[in-house]
Structure formats: C-alpha cells, structure tokens
Structure 1
Amino acid sequence: MRVQDTPEEWQVVATATPFKGNKTSVRTDDVVMPDGSVHRRDYQVHPGSVAVLALDEEDRVVVLRQYRHPVRQKLWEIPAGLLDVPGENPLHAAQRELYEEAHIKAEDWRVLTDVYTTPGGCDEAVRIFLARGLAEAEGERFEVSEEEADMELARVPVGELVRGVLAGELHNNCLVVGVLSLAAARAAEGGLETLRPADAPWPARPFEG
C-alpha cells in the first residue's frame, strides 16, 4: 500500500466568514459527516506561504531571529513569507523573501518539502525550498519595518540546528521541518539530487509557470 494524502471534500451545507483580517480570515462551515450528521467547523483561511532553507558552502543555514507576538517569544526561523498574489509562482516568492530578509540570492533551487502547518484549524500550505550556491544580492538592502526592524541574522551549522530541534530549543515550524527534511534527504539513497525541481507542481496552491 502506498501511503499518500488524497483530495477529498465533504459536503458543506452552510458557510459564513465571521472575521476578515488584513491577510487571513476565519470561516465557519457546517459539514456533513459520514453518518449524516452536520457539525460546525471553524478554521483560518490563509493565502499560503513559502520558506527557504538557504545552505552555504560551509554547511551552514541562514537563519533569522524574530519576535512572534502570539507565542511571546523570539524565534529562530528560516526566511519565509506569504503568497501575497493569488496564483503567484512560489519560487519567485521564495527568491523575493530570501532577498528581502537576508539580502541573498541563490543559484540552485529545489523543493525540500510541502506541508500543511495546522490542518485541524487552518488551511495554510507551505512550500519549503532548499537554496544553494549563495551569494550577496546586488543593490541596496530591502528596508524592513515592524517586527522585522528588530531581526537578527546568523549562519548556523546544520548539525547544531538538528541538535537544537531535537533538544526542544527550536520551535519554528518551517525551521524544524526544513532542517529535519534536509537531514532525511541527505540520508536517503541518491541524496539531495533526488529532491523535486523548484517548479514542481503544488496542488495545494496551483500557480502559473
């Protein structure tokens, strides 16, 4: 048996949007269950995101430290951002985020993994890229504001990040999934060359070529 997620959509007999924010909203659906009963499900509607695990020639990952108000912590993360434009090519969005947050460009891009962050309460889908062949981006640095104005940048060895994840010291979803996916891909037959190309289809967030 092949273990693989599959599309499925249960009947919705009523829907409403009780809250609409700047980037996300909350939707309430009345969903028909397999036994015929109807139950209400509230969830956050999210445009989707991209994240970049940027790996340099010394086997270090580009990370940033940023304040996250909902959890009241400064978290170490990898560059990431929203898919602000519907249908936007996720690779282009990832390249933009790497430039804006770290002022870096990369020559080699692969899809590392695709995840739903919290599928029980949010429809956010994230595509995490592996970027290699790093170099300083041309031109002026992107002007940051709000939480990003306090952001710190660093390059940390992969092994140290793996240790921190398993020790419960690092908690950001994209960093945790990205770093452990990198370690798993390296250990697999064929290594990193078996990763999907950067323009691989993404059913969760279809995009233009």
Structure 2
Amino acid sequence: MQERPNAANEIADLPETHPVTATETVHHGWVWNVASDSISYGADTIHREYIAHTSAVAILAMDAQGRVLLISQYRHPVRMRNWEIPAGLLDGGPNESPREAAVRELAEEADLQADTWHVLLDFWTTPGGSNESIRIFLARDLRPTAQPFARIHEEADIEHCWLDLDAAIDAVLDDRLHNPALLQALFAASESRRRSWRTLRDADAPWPTRSPELLPVPRALEGGGHA
C-alpha cells in the first residue's frame, strides 16, 4: 500500500488506463450492456465484468421557498416505492446535451420548466461495477409546462411531494430515504447553500466522469427505464 502525503487540495480522481487485451459484450440489454474485459495490469492479466451504461441526468428542482421536489415511483429490482428526484437516461440522440436531457426529464416527470439551471455535482453510481455517471442539475425559477406529460408503466402513478431541504435531509438521516441520486443532491445542495451557492457550475460545464468511448449503443426504450 502506498501512502500519499496529507495535502487536501491535491486529492482528486485522476484518469488512468491499462491495455484491454480482450473485450466482449456478454449481455446486450434494453437500457445497458454487460461488458467483460481482460486487462493487462502490471505483470498480471485481470478479468472484470461491468455494466456499460449510457449515463444519466437527475434534477433537484427547488422553488422560491427553498423546497425541493421529490417524486415516488415503483422500482422493481428493490421491490420498493422509492422517493427520488426526476432523472433519465441520455437517450435523446447523439446531439442532445445533458442540459437538454435534464429539461426533457423535468418536463416529463414533473410537468415543470426552469429558467435557471446549474450543475450541482457529478458522481459515479458504482465505479467498481459500472461506468455510469450521473450529473445532477439544480433547477430554479420554476413554472408549469403548458401541458401535462402522458406517462406510462411505472411513471403512470408517480407521486409528487415538496419538502423543505432541511426536512428532506432529516428524512435521509432518519433512514427513510435511500435513493443515491436523491441523497447526493440533498447533501450537495445543503452544503452549496451554506456556501452561498458559490460551488454551482455552469449548466453546460464539462462532464469528465462520463466516458463516451465506453458507452453502449442503446436500443429503443419503452419508457420508465431511467437511472
């Protein structure tokens, strides 16, 4: 084990690549693929399987009273009705920007538009098993869309709830909320607010944790298949 000197301002995730000597798509799914790679790592060849994902956007919508929007829908893998924030895959075509995807998802899942957009943070969902990165936007200066969106499948019975930001964080600490994008968004927004929002980035800021060369080619989706 190598120990790095204690220099907090120098700690950062860094790009690193190793030769991939063989690769195979062992599962081609509707939303993501499963890849199997052989990697030359030092003197060894190691084998790793991981989810190759298109990545996704999520939106923390905040109103003028400082309340945040939570939505609830059924999530089959965990057999739970899960409180989360509006989110969706980057599946709108090669020319759709992350911000445009976020605008689309906020309208589709919450019937809302926003005049002010910022990047709150980017994170990997499971870097040991997936290349999925989620970009969370902070959306403010909200107004309703002209028409409600026609939802299907799990999205057909979405519930909406507005909570004060601090009350939402209390619910996390009380072990009542568990969605990772929601948790990341709430704590990041709370800390950014404490710092007078100085940590916010431009809505079109670079997204270095998303790896375009690793993305699968998604099939046509049938709705409800977001992050």
TM-score bracket relative to the smaller structure:
over 0.9
Q: Do 2:59 and 2:137's aligned partners in 1 also have CA atoms closer than 8 Å?
A: yes
Q: 1:87, CA displacement in angstroms?
A: 5.2
Q: Do 2:38 and 2:46's aligned partners in 1 also have CA atoms closer than 8 Å?
A: yes
What residue identity is the alignment partner of 2:14?
T
| Identity among equivalent pairs (%) | 43
| Equivalent position of 1:153 in the other structure | 160
| TM-score, with structure 1 as normaliser | 0.93
| Equivalent position of 2:204 in the other structure | 199
Q: 1:125, CA displacement in angstroms?
A: 0.7
Q: Which runs of 5+ in 1 are unaligned?
A: none
Distance in 2, matches of 1:159 and 1:17, equals 44
| Equivalent position of 2:142 in the other structure | 134
Which has the higher relative contact order, 1 or 2, with Cα contacts under 8 A spaced 6 or more apart?
Answer: 2
Q: Which runs of 5+ in 2 are unaligned?
A: 1-6, 213-227
| Equivalent position of 1:185 in the other structure | 192
SS in 2 for 1:10: coil
Q: Do 1:53 and 1:129's aligned partners in 2 also have CA atoms closer than 8 Å?
A: yes
SS in 2 for 1:192: coil
- Name which of structure 1's ranges 160-169 and 125-134 shifts more when overlaid on structure 2: 160-169
Distance in 2, matches of 1:142 and 1:102, equals 8
Q: Which runs of 4+ in 1 moved over 4 A?
A: none
What residue identity is the alignment partner of 1:199?
D
SS in 1 for 2:197: helix
Describe how 1:1-209 pairs up with structure 2 within 5 A: 1=7, 2-34=10-42, 36-84=43-91, 85-86=93-94, 88-138=96-146, 140-188=147-195, 191-205=196-210
Task: Calculate the aligned-residue CA RMSD, in Å.
Answer: 1.4
How many residue pairs get aligned? The number is 203
Q: Do 1:28 and 1:41's aligned partners in 2 also have CA atoms closer than 8 Å?
A: yes
